[in-house]
Structure 1
Amino acid sequence: MAREYIDVLRLPESMPWHYSQAVKVGDTVYVAGQVGAGEGSIEAQTQKAYESVVDVLAKAGATMDHVVRETVYLADRTKLPEVAKVRETFYGDRFPASTAVFSGSGDGYDIEVEVTAVIDD
């Protein structure tokens, strides 16, 4: 199957490595971790991370309704309730299979969200 490499943002040349924000294979979209760095509070960072996921999915022809799997990386497990409130605004009452990983220090990236979506319409 052919692969489509999807990038919404142009990454700076100073990045220590390069990657695609998403790769689409058939009807499946694999979205790399999206962060909300520099956005302040965990709520603001979470909002930004999920907005980035939405933007990448849109470029691939998908929406949050197509998300079947999600991994959320958090620097601080005590922030999970705040993250959950923002997350609900993107999923409503239908959530994908999800895993939360508590990673300790995020070096300014307090949350990172990666998803897999299946376009089955």
Structure 2
Amino acid sequence: MPRLIPAAAVLALAALVAASPVAASKPATAPGPVFTPSELPYPFSSAVQVGDVLYLSGQLGAEDGGGKVVPGGIGPESEQMFKRISQTLTQHGLSFDDVFKCSVFLADMADWPAFNTIYARHFKPGRYPARSAMGVNGLALGARVEMECWAHKPQKR
């Protein structure tokens, strides 16, 4: 049979915790999300910083201006996609060295080996981000690949 703790003991413990200097100090509040508007005419931000993490929106291998995907298939699209991601990272003072998580969306999983070859060239061996890759039913603008990333960006204190 469980032992019951008298209500007076619970109240006394609560009073001790409330009176402790640790409980009395308030944690520093982190600023809210910081939104970087997209240059494209679509309703999303190119990146949002929350705390020390910069969340990049998914990028396609679209031509500058974002109107259509570069021709040539998975190779040229992937290279253009990495170029666009690099531009966003650079805008925030970061590089692929700061990326720690990627999600990859492929219109055809048969492109996975070719994509992996290109992907590996953009990261240092032994420092590959955690990654998910999945086949999808369709991507915007008829793209073959899209990737979103998370990067570490310490806040200025």
Is 1:29 matched up with 2:63? no
Task: Letter of the 2:108 partner, please give it.
Answer: D
Computing the radius of gyration from Cα coordinates, the structure with the larger value is: 2
CA distance in 1, matches of 2:75, 2:99: 21
The 3-state SS of whatever aligns with 2:113 is helix
CA distance in 1, matches of 2:33, 2:122: 27
Counting strand residues as a fraction of each chain, which structure ranks higher?
Answer: 1
Counterpart residue number, 1:6: 36
Pairing partner for 1:39 from 67, 70, 73: 70
Identity of aligned residues (%): 27
TM-score normalized by the length of structure 2:
0.67
Decide whether the 8 Å contact of 2:53 with 2:152 is kept in 1: yes
Counterpart residue number, 2:136: 103
TM-score normalized by the length of structure 1:
0.86
Alpha-carbon displacement from aligned partner over 1:15-49 (angstroms, at most 9, x marks no partner): 4xx11010112321000000014212201001111
Q: Which runs of 5+ in 2 are unaligned?
A: 1-30, 63-68
Q: CA deviation at 1:104?
A: 2.7
User: Which structure would you say has the larger RCO, counting Cα contacts within 8 Å and 6 or more residues apart?
Assistant: 1
The 3-state SS of whatever aligns with 1:44 is helix
Counting helix residues as a fraction of each chain, which structure ranks higher?
Answer: 2
- The runs of at least 4 consecutive aligned structure 1 residues that moved more than 4 Å come to none
**Residue pairs, 1:75-94, within 5 angstroms:** 75-93=107-125, 94=127
Decide whether the 8 Å contact of 2:33 with 2:49 is kept in 1: yes
The 3-state SS of whatever aligns with 1:86 is helix
